[in-house]
Amino acid sequence: MKIKNQRDFFSGLVFMGAGAAAAWIAPTLRIGTAARMGPGYFPLALGIGLAVLGGVLAFNSLVFETEDGGAVEPWSARSLLCVAAASALFGVMMGGLPRFGLPPLGWVPAVYATTLLASLAAEGFRVKQALLLATACAFAGWLVLVQLLGIAVPLWPVMAAR
Amino acid sequence: MDLASSLAAGLNAAATPANLLCLFAGCLLGMLAGLLPGVRPATAVAMLTPLAYVLPPGGLLILLAAIAYGAAYGRAHAALVNDPGGASRADSFQLARQGRAGVAIGVASLAIFIGAAVGTLTLAVLAAPLAELSFQFGPTEYFSLMVLGLAGAAVLARGSLLKALAMTVLGLLLGVFAAASRARPIFGLQAPADGALFVVLAVGLYGLGTIPHFLALPARPREALPVANGRSLLPGGKDFRHVLPPLLRGSLLGCALGLLPGGGRLLGAYAAWALEKSTALRAGEVPFGKGNSRGVAAPAAADGAGSQTMFVPLLALGVPTSAVAALLMGALVIGHVPVGPQMMSGSPQLFWGLIASMWIGNVMLGAMSLPPLAPLWTRLHGAPYRLLLPVLVLLCSLGVYLVHRDAAEVALAAGVAVCACLFAQLGCEPMPLLLGFVLGPAMEESLRGAMSLGGGDWGTFATRPISAGLLSAALLLVVFVAMPAVKLRREDAFAPE
């Protein structure tokens, strides 16, 4: 059996999986009857519906011919990883990881780290430009957040302030 | 209360200094959202959803709505310097190329302004009777109405209909589970009670998630053109008479199509341009697509009008039909702003304040589009995305972080962005998912009510006339679009944008 539309096949699988998971989780809530629905009733119906939709998608992708085989286009994972990692890094640096003994590092270091990492997502990275941008962002953030709006945001690592 | 006195009351509500400040901020952000590369109105609204925790209801509504309609002006500026894929914008670009950017932006701004005025009037006139009508809806009818709204949005979403439907159901599931987990944790997981999960989802899908997608797009050809210099900006008397009929036609078409779910606004601009193109050219008139001022006016007016009437289903019925409307609704729910018919009856000052603010906002935006500032916008459009990107990432992360000061929520938003990109690779649009997430809890509620009224019989949806009508309309839509002939035409209609 040959997959005739890659995109449809894989999205069909994802939807089938998600639907099955929902239909499996739903009974842990109370299902009830049609006249007196519990919190599990609607999710169960939706889960089954989603699994069916996914099944149809996957079935079609095995039956109907497409011109290009519906191939998943090649793409650069780098930009996605840089953007996602930069965002998560910002959260970790601002909030710290108390469980691992990492204190909040403050606004200024977080902005520099995030800006540098996010800059790597686009073509043509230049260190000088990114550092300049980070400086501008850190200053603008301090001006707007702390001075203008009066939101208490630690600027530097909390240990250093002690 | 008649229209005039309602509007006067609205003007009073909108003209407080705080609300005017919110309106100005919204207009400015809307302008930027329309013209900055890689930023869409949905991106801007998503990034600002955390404001729902700090702004008062009136200000929040005014600010976020201004972003949605202000973007029409930004798009008009962007069309001057950016060779658009869409035929409906080609005339602006060609006019600017001929050194007549001033005329192009003058005509476009005027057209958006008039279109928006017509659209706002439509919203003001339609909303009250529609809300009145929907008060006669029981849970059965309301459920069917939401089914129709979701089906319409799925039909008008880009790409495969099956995938759009599946994304809708996935969104509904997530929304329902999130709501259920607040009462009782599911596998030890519990959504925050204040709706912060919506902020995470919005920023992940439409903030962070759109960045890698934009980076992957091929760079569009851009020309360094002489920007509007301020002279001959407004069309003269003869020009004005020339563009007025297409302008009005475009406004009406945009109004009507803006009411449709999903891509109604884009469809409006495209349809208005196509309609003008089908009319006969006068002697000596430039052909369409080569810098015809009628070809500038009609789509711009439709864009302006549709950007206003897309609020009708959201404000009158409480059913969002586009990504921006869904984002707005989510933010309003967090900010405890009643959405839908409850707004019209419970807090009319909010609704009429918004209507009044739309008129003031369009005056602000029109003024921003004119000489002293006009060159600034075209220059900003050329901002390198390389520099914009880190700022967008910072703003997105900061917004999510400040809600609870919780690193885990920022990480979750990043995770949502990763999922959004993977879904995009598989050809699945995020819009239906977001709509489902927003409507899920309300849909479950009305389903429960309807079934309890009907004694557990699913036939109740088919035997009550209004509900049966709404459901058959939804079914017709889906079947109609699934037909092979329409399927191809549908892909054509979305291709240019």
pLDDT tens-digit profile of B314-359? 988 888 988 899 999 999 999 888 888 888 888 888 899 999 999 9
Exposed/middle/buried for residue B374 (C-beta within 10 Å: 0-12, 13-18, 19+)? buried
> Within a 13 Å sphere around the CA of B435, how many CA atoms are in the beta-carbon half?
33
Instruction: Report CA-CA distances (Å) from B211 to B262, B385, B483.
Output: 22, 10, 34
- What pLDDT sits at residue B487? 61
Give the mutation candidate from A10, A80, A148 for the B interface (greatest B CB count, under 10 A).
A80
In B, minimum Cα distance to A80 occurs at B212
- What pLDDT sits at residue B257? 87
Q: Assess whether pLDDT exceeds 70 at residue B494.
A: no
Any A CB within 8 A of B482 CB:
no
What is the band of B221 on the pLDDT scale with cuts at 50, 70, 90? low
Q: Distance between CA atoms of B432 and B437, rounded to whole angstroms? A: 9
3-state secondary structure of A18: helix
What is the band of B185 on the pLDDT scale with cuts at 50, 70, 90? confident
Over chain B, what HEC string results?
A: CCHHHHHHHHHHHHCCHHHHHHHHHHHHHHHHHHHCCCCCHHHHHHHHHHHHHCCCHHHHHHHHHHHHHHHHHHHHHHHHHECCCCHHHHHHHHHHHCCCHHHHHHHHHHHHHHHHHHHHHHHHHHHHHHHHHHCCCCHHHHHHHHHHHHHHHHHHCCCCHHHHHHHHHHHHHHHHHHHHHHHCCECCECCCCCCHHHHHHHHHHHHHCHHHHHHHCCCCCECCCCCCCCCCCCCCHHHHHHHHHHHHHHHHHHHHHHCCCCCHHHHHHHHHHHHHHCCCCCCCCCCCCCCCHHHHHHHHHHHHHHHHHCHHHHHHHCCCCCHHHHHHHHHHHHCCCCCCHHHHHHCHHHHHHHHHHHHHHHHHHHHHHCCCCHHHHHHHHCCCHHHHHHHHHHHHHHHHHHHHCCHHHHHHHHHHHHHHHHHHHCCCCCHHHHHHHHHHHHHHHHHHHHHHHCCCCCCHHHHCHHHHHHHHHHHHHHHHHHCHHHHHHHHHHHCCC
B455 CB contacts (<8 Å, ≥6 apart)? Answer: A35
Does B165 contact A53 at a Cβ distance shorter than 8 Å? yes
Does A90 contact B387 at a Cβ distance shorter than 8 Å? no
What is the interface pTM, i.e. ipTM, of the complex? 0.91
Instruction: Report CA-CA distances (Å) from B261 to B46, B75, B80, B155, B353.
Output: 19, 21, 28, 9, 25
Any A CB within 8 A of B273 CB:
no
Any A CB within 8 A of B443 CB:
yes
Going by C-alpha positions, the residue among B32, B137, B199, B244 that lies closest to residue B466 is: B137
Q: Assess whether pLDDT exceeds 50 at residue B495.
A: no
In A, minimum Cα distance to B416 occurs at A84
Nearest to B169 among A7, A14, A53 (CB): A53
- What pLDDT sits at residue A12? 93
- Mean pLDDT, residues B61-71 taken together: 93
Token representation of residue B497: 């944008």
Q: Distance between CA atoms of B467 and B368, rounded to whole angstroms? A: 46
Residue pLDDT, tens place only, A3-25:
888 888 999 999 999 999 999 99
Q: Distance between CA atoms of A46 and A26, rounded to whole angstroms? A: 10
> Within a 13 Å sphere around the CA of B394, how many CA atoms are in the beta-carbon half?
25
**What is the pTM (predicted TM-score) of this model?**
0.90
Nearest to A119 among B180, B208, B390 (CB): B390
Q: Distance between CA atoms of B257 and B259, rounded to whole angstroms? A: 5
Q: Assess whether pLDDT exceeds 70 at residue A39.
A: yes
Does A36 contact B160 at a Cβ distance shorter than 8 Å? no
Does A133 contact B451 at a Cβ distance shorter than 8 Å? no
**Arithmetic mean of pLDDT over chain B:** 85
- What pLDDT sits at residue B496? 39
Touching A: B residues 405-434, CB under 8 Å: 405-411, 413-415, 417-418, 421, 423, 425-428
Domain that holds residue B169: 3-494
Residue pLDDT, tens place only, B463-476:
999 999 999 999 99
B314 CB contacts (<8 Å, ≥6 apart)? Answer: B320, B321, B325, B328, B329, B339, B340
The residues pairing with A102 across neighbouring beta strands, listed in sequence order, are A97
- What pLDDT sits at residue B492? 54
More confident residue, B117 or A104: B117
B362 CB contacts (<8 Å, ≥6 apart)? Answer: B69, B112, B113, B116, B117, B120, B304
- What pLDDT sits at residue B264? 63
CA angle in degrees (0–180, nearest 5) for B7-B344-B248? 55
Q: Assess whether pLDDT exceeds 70 at residue B485.
A: no
Residue pLDDT, tens place only, B421-452:
999 888 898 999 999 999 999 999 999 999 99
